[in-house]
Amino acid sequence: MISAGDFRKGTTFEMDGDVWQIVDFQHVKPGKGAAFVRAKIRSVMTGANKDTTFNPSEKFQEARIETKEMQYLYNDGNLYYFMDSETYEQIPIEKDAVEEAIMYIKENDNATIKFYQGKPFNVAPPNFVELVVTETEPGVRGDTATGANKPATVETGATVQVPLFINEGDVIKIDTRSNEYLSRV
């Protein structure tokens, strides 16, 4: 059990049948009345944010989130299969849990998977990936002084804004957190 007075950034706890993580918190001691904790919390399962206040003596069950590095193997429509590199155990994960991350993950690439009570709920790609450009418009010679960008589709299906000099077949480095082009490899 953890009390609201002991909240710190990153703490995970159970409340109202959901698991929440502290994004930001502030202990407030007004001139009149009792002290309280003002917190911004995020649902670990759905990603929804919420601002709320707690009495510092309120107690919550602390939630243990397990994180594993796993290898993406394949998908069969709605299920995506990942393998634990240590035990070689394969687990299927539903499409809604991997929807955002799968745009940057190729088969046999590693991903970080978060588990709560043995159930996977979040898949995160590596922060930086190198992917091949499969489709983009050709750049016009002499049109590079403006620093303009054009859309490019990479081998996993993600669309990224790239400089005009990038062509089909080029390997580019992408920051998956912001979906930004970083460099040509």
Q: For residue 177, which of 111, 113, 104 has the smallest C-alpha distance? A: 104
Residues 19 and 69 in one domain: no
Mean pLDDT, residues 140-146 taken together? 62
Last residue of a domain, one of 88, 107, 124: 124
Residues 48 and 70 in one domain: no
For residue 117, give its domain range: 65-124
Measured distance between the N- and C-terminal CA atoms of the chain, rounded to whole angstroms = 49
**What's the CA gap between 69 and 123, in Å, rounded?**
10
Residues 6 and 34 in one domain: yes
What band does 154 get if pLDDT is binned at 50, 70 and 90? very high
Here the CATH number for the domain that contains residue 157 is 2.40.50.140
Residues 44 and 94 in one domain: no
Residue 144 predicted with pLDDT over 60: no
Residues 112 and 136 in one domain: no
Tokens representing residue 168 in the block: 């089909």
Residues 112 and 72 in one domain: yes
pLDDT tens string 16-36: 888 888 888 999 898 888 899
What band does 39 get if pLDDT is binned at 50, 70 and 90? very high
Q: pTM surpassing 0.75?
A: no
> How many independent structural domains does the chain possess?
3
Residues 147 and 170 in one domain: yes
Q: What is the largest CA-CA distance in the chain?
A: 69
Residues 50 and 7 in one domain: yes
What band does 171 get if pLDDT is binned at 50, 70 and 90? very high
Residue 141 predicted with pLDDT over 80: no
What band does 140 get if pLDDT is binned at 50, 70 and 90? low
What integer pLDDT is reported at residue 69 of this predicted model?
A: 92
Contacts of 15-18 spanning 24+ positions with Cβ under 8 A: 15/60, 18/43, 18/44, 18/45, 18/46
pLDDT, mean over the chain: 87
- Contact partners, residue 75, CB within 8 Å, separation at least 6: 81, 102
Last residue of a domain, one of 34, 62, 90: 62
DSSP state of 152: E
Last residue of a domain, one of 76, 107, 124: 124
Here the CATH number for the domain that contains residue 28 is 2.30.30.30
**What's the CA gap between 154 and 170, in Å, rounded?**
10
What integer pLDDT is reported at residue 160 of this predicted model?
A: 92
